[in-house]
Amino acid sequence: MQSPSRRAFLTGRRPERSPWETFLARLRRAAQGTVYDFSTEAGSARLVPVHMQDVYQARSLCVEHGVTLALDGIPSAARLDGGPVLWVEPGSAMARCERLGPDDPRWFVQPGCLIGDLEQAGLPQFRDQPPHLTVAAWLADRRGCDWDCGDTAASGLAHAMVLLSDGTQANLGAFGVDNRKPLDNLRVQGMIPRLFELVSAPAAEALRDGALWNGRYRLDALRPAAGGTVNLAHLLLGHGGELGWVEWMVFDGRAGRLAERAYDLRYGRRPGPGEAAAETDRAVRALFDPDGVFPERGQQF
C-alpha cells in the first residue's frame, strides 16, 4: 500500500498537514530558538528560546492552536497527556544574573539562571537547593517555596515581570501606600481588588493550618506577618507554572532565607486540600489565566 506522502508525490499534491504539524511549522518560522518535536499522539514539543520574543510568539501560537504552554524543568511535573503541549525551557541564552548596582544587595535574575549560580552569588534562600534547577523552575516548585503563612518575604523576591495568558506583561512587586506601581497595568488593576476579596473570604481562612498554608497559590502573601509589606510578586511562589510565564525577577539578598521546615515532612501531616482550597485556587487561577493557556496543574501535588 502506498503511503500518503508517496501518493502525493506521484499525483503532485502535498499531503495535508495535521493541526499539530501546522503549529510546529509556524513556531519554527517565528522563533529563533530550537524546537524539538517529541512525536507523541497528542502532540508534544520543547522550545528552548533565545530571547523573550520567542516566548511571546509561542504564547500567541499556543492560544491560536489550543496548545498548552508549560514551563519545562519543574520538579515532579504533572503529566500533560490530555492535549497538545509545548514545553518551554529557559536556557543559557536567558540566564543573566547581576547586581543592580555595585553596592546594591538586589539582583536582577532571568528565568534560565541556575540555582547553583545564585547560591555562589551569596543569596541565602538558595543554599542547599538543587543547583541544577533554573530559577524559573525553583520559583514554580511548591516544595522549594513553602514558607510559613505570611512569611513569603523570606524568599527575598522583590519584583517579578510575568507574561499573562492574554499577552499582558504584569510588573508585580511591593504594593501599598508608598508603592502603587502595579496599578500602572490595567489588567493588574482589575485583578487586585478581587485578590483581596479572596484572601478576606472565609474559604481563604480555612486554608491556614497553624503556620502552614494549604492552598496551591500563596494568597497569604496579601496578609504578611506584622511589619511586613504586601508584595504581589509573592503570589508566584510555588505557582506550579500555572499562572503565567515569569520573564525576570529581582531578589534582595538581605531578606532571603531558607524555608524553616522540610516540605515533605510538612505535607506528610497536612490534611490535604479540601473544597475550600479547590474553590479558592480555581478563582486565583481564573484571574491570572482565564483562557487556560498554562497547565491547569503543573505539579503532581
Which residues, other chains included, contact 135 with Cβ-Cβ below 8 Å and sequence gap of 6+? 109, 110, 111, 112, 113, 114, 115, 118, 249
**110 in the same domain as 80:** no
d(CA 39, CA 81): 13
**Looking at the domain assignment, is residue 262 inside a domain?**
yes
Q: Which of 88, 121, 156 is the last residue of a domain?
A: 88
DSSP letter for 32, please: S
- Measured in degrees and rounded to the nearest 5, phi and psi for residue 149 equal -55, 130
**161 in the same domain as 38:** no
**Domain at 82, CATH number:** 3.30.43
pTM: 0.89
**221 in the same domain as 77:** no
Domain count along the chain = 2
Torsion, Cα of 107, 113, 115, 120 (10° steps)? -60
pLDDT for residue 279: 87
**102 in the same domain as 77:** no
**Looking at the domain assignment, is residue 141 inside a domain?**
yes
**282 in the same domain as 168:** yes
**116 in the same domain as 62:** no
**Looking at the domain assignment, is residue 206 inside a domain?**
yes
**Looking at the domain assignment, is residue 209 inside a domain?**
yes
**Looking at the domain assignment, is residue 299 inside a domain?**
no
Q: Which of 39, 54, 88 is the last residue of a domain?
A: 88
The list of the chain residues with pLDDT below 50 reads 1-3, 262-272
Q: Which of 63, 88, 113 is the last residue of a domain?
A: 88
pLDDT for residue 49: 98
pLDDT for residue 224: 92
**Looking at the domain assignment, is residue 298 inside a domain?**
no
Domain of 227, in residue numbers: 95-288
**271 in the same domain as 166:** yes
**Domain at 210, CATH number:** 3.30.465.10
- Give the cell for residue 5: 506522502
Characterize the bridge pairing of strands 44-48 and 85-88.
parallel
**Looking at the domain assignment, is residue 294 inside a domain?**
no
d(CA 250, CA 82): 35
Characterize the bridge pairing of strands 208-209 and 97-99.
unpaired
d(CA 249, CA 263): 23
**33 in the same domain as 131:** no
**65 in the same domain as 108:** no
**124 in the same domain as 264:** yes
pLDDT for residue 269: 47
**111 in the same domain as 69:** no
d(CA 286, CA 301): 19
- Give the cell for residue 173: 512587586
- Give the cell for residue 178: 508608598
DSSP string, 136-204: HHHHH-TTTT-PPTT-GGGG-EEEEEEE-TTS-EEEE-B-BTTB-GGGGSHHHHHHHHHHHHHHHSHHH
**Looking at the domain assignment, is residue 37 inside a domain?**
yes
**114 in the same domain as 83:** no
Characterize the bridge pairing of strands 68-71 and 85-88.
parallel
